[in-house]
Amino acid sequence: MFSFQQFLSEEVASGDFPEGVFGGLSIEKKSENSKTAVFVVRSDDRLSDRDEILRNLKQAGIKAEVREKAGQGVDPIFIDSHFDVTVILLIKPKSGGVGETTLNASITELFPAIAWETGYKMTTSVDNFYYHLLEQDPSKLKCVNPKDLDAAVDTIQKASESSKFTEKMLNAMGVYKYLQEENKSKRIKQVYWGYRAKPTGVPKNHPGDIFIEFIDGEMLGVSLKAGGKSTKEPKLNTYVNPVFTAFKQVRQLSALRRELHSKVFSNIEGMPSSGQYDKSKRSTTSKLLVQLNKDDSKRYENLYDQHLEICRKSVIDLFNANKDTTLDYIRSEILRDAPDVPTKVIKAVKDNFTEITADDELGVFLPMVKFVKAYPSKSSKQNWFLELKSRDTSVIMEMTIRTNKSGSAGQKKLGQFFNLAIKYNSLSIK
């Protein structure tokens, strides 16, 4: 397993975490000494938000785990090997109801499952739909796992507190329409909410938000998205580090660090050595980057362009190295195939839905792939393509590598070092 000591910092700040990890929740440092840094995250849906943060950390390539800690109502998250010190995330209560990010997601996931089980007769009225939900006893619903009962009760009771209540209720109605259409092609026995607990036989890490059990016993996971009709949500949202780790190419990652120092960072006066610049001297590097951007922003951007190209080429070389390894990565990390429980992606658009079929097309095509070729875009510094060829057909996966952190010039772009974001955006066939 790759050692995350490569990301060490002399002092840990909230801005050192990947963007979006905390889902909009407030975070503040409580204390730090030579061994431990303690942060407090404020939430009113503490268990669910903690689990969501844990998933986000792992997706970003940070090794984290929940451990028991005396005096804590909700066991905290520990990060032992990403920073100079052990980081502890305490999940503390705040006023104002369920965390909105979690609440909004739960509305679009739980409410269609309840509607299906209770046989709700769809109308165009959001209020009528919500009144129907308020009349239900979640403890008697098969779609709610007993372990998730408290979360279900909170979601129903507090849904109206969401600033996006109408939008998310319409999305839930759109997902319910999808369930009705799915039933027409194959009879549904039961729909389950996949909040934290998964139905029997479904892997714990399955990406499905709801699960459909058909009358013949087959199970289908449904991953739900929400957005406008023309919006495109990335189908993979990860970072350089977990990609190289998945490919089991940690040594190449170390080589990338050294190359970035040799060709980019060493050109900045006062830069620490290659063994320290993004480790124990990371804070020094950050200050130098901030100063460089202040003194000569054009030079900073030019260096970042060089940095980006080196990272892009390294990732492209990784995907070109071995066809079978690349296809295995697509199956496990993009399609996220589970042997017995396939996944379908449904996007809620207002009070309707659309099926995202690109993943299905890709999954069907993979067994026929004879050749894999990754190559850079000629018109974009951050885009690249992964072309999969059969005997007479090619599918092209549009990919992106870029900075995705906010903050100062010492935190984003060059300050993100090699661990830039990688996204898979769309699929085309030629």
Domain spans of the chain, in order of start: 4-92, 100-226, 236-332+357-429
Domain 4-92 CATH assignment equals 3.90.870.10: no
Model confidence at 193, in pLDDT bands (50, 70, 90)?
A: very high
Q: Are 264 and 306 in contact (CB under 8 A)?
A: yes
Instruction: Report which secondary-structure segment, H or E, holds 336.
Output: none
Q: Is the pLDDT of residue 76 over 80?
A: yes
Q: Is the pLDDT of residue 70 over 90?
A: no
Phi, psi of 336 (to 5 degrees): 50, 50
Residues in contact with 338: Cβ distance below 8 Å, sequence separation at least 6, in sequence order: 202, 203, 206, 221
304 is written with which tokens? 């970042």
Q: Are 116 and 65 in contact (CB under 8 A)?
A: no
Model confidence at 9, in pLDDT bands (50, 70, 90)?
A: very low
Task: Residue 405: name the closest of 394, 416, 414, 417 by CA.
Answer: 416
Q: What's the whole-number mean pLDDT along residues 265-271?
A: 97
Range of weakest confidence among 134-143, 206-215, 268-277, 360-369: 360-369
Model confidence at 361, in pLDDT bands (50, 70, 90)?
A: low
Q: What is the pLDDT of residue 339?
A: 59
Q: What is the pLDDT of residue 58?
A: 87
Q: What is the pLDDT of residue 244?
A: 96
Task: Residue 413: name the closest of 382, 386, 384, 385 by CA.
Answer: 382
Q: What's the whole-number mean pLDDT along residues 29-58?
A: 85
- Give the integer Cα–Cα distance in Å for 126 and 167: 9
Q: What's the whole-number mean pLDDT along residues 289-300?
A: 95
Q: What is the pLDDT of residue 81?
A: 85
Residues in contact with 190: Cβ distance below 8 Å, sequence separation at least 6, in sequence order: 117, 142, 143, 212, 213
Q: What is the pLDDT of residue 248?
A: 94
Mean pLDDT, the chain, integer: 87
Q: What is the pLDDT of residue 8?
A: 38
Question: Does the CA dihedral 204-205-211-212 come out positive or negative?
Answer: negative
DSSP 184-250: HHS-EEEEEE-SSS--TTS-TT---SEEEEETTS-EEEEEEEE--TT----SEEEEHHHHHHHTT-H
Q: Are 397 and 319 in contact (CB under 8 A)?
A: no
Q: What's the whole-number mean pLDDT along residues 282-293?
A: 94
Could you tell me which residue, 6 or 133, shows the higher pLDDT?
133
Q: Is the pLDDT of residue 50 over 70?
A: yes
- Summarised one tens digit per residue, pLDDT across range 218-250 is 998 888 877 655 555 567 788 999 999 999 999
What burial letters (b/e) apply to 286-314, b meaning 16+ CB within 10 Å? bebbbbbbeeeeeebeebbeebbbbbbbb
Q: What is the pTM of this model?
A: 0.54
Residues in contact with 47: Cβ distance below 8 Å, sequence separation at least 6, in sequence order: 74, 150, 151, 196
Q: Which residue has 């016993």 as its token pair?
A: 217
Q: What is the pLDDT of residue 178?
A: 94
- Summarised one tens digit per residue, pLDDT across range 330-359 is 988 887 666 567 777 777 888 887 776 555
Q: Is the pLDDT of residue 72 over 70?
A: no
- Give the integer Cα–Cα distance in Å for 55 and 64: 9
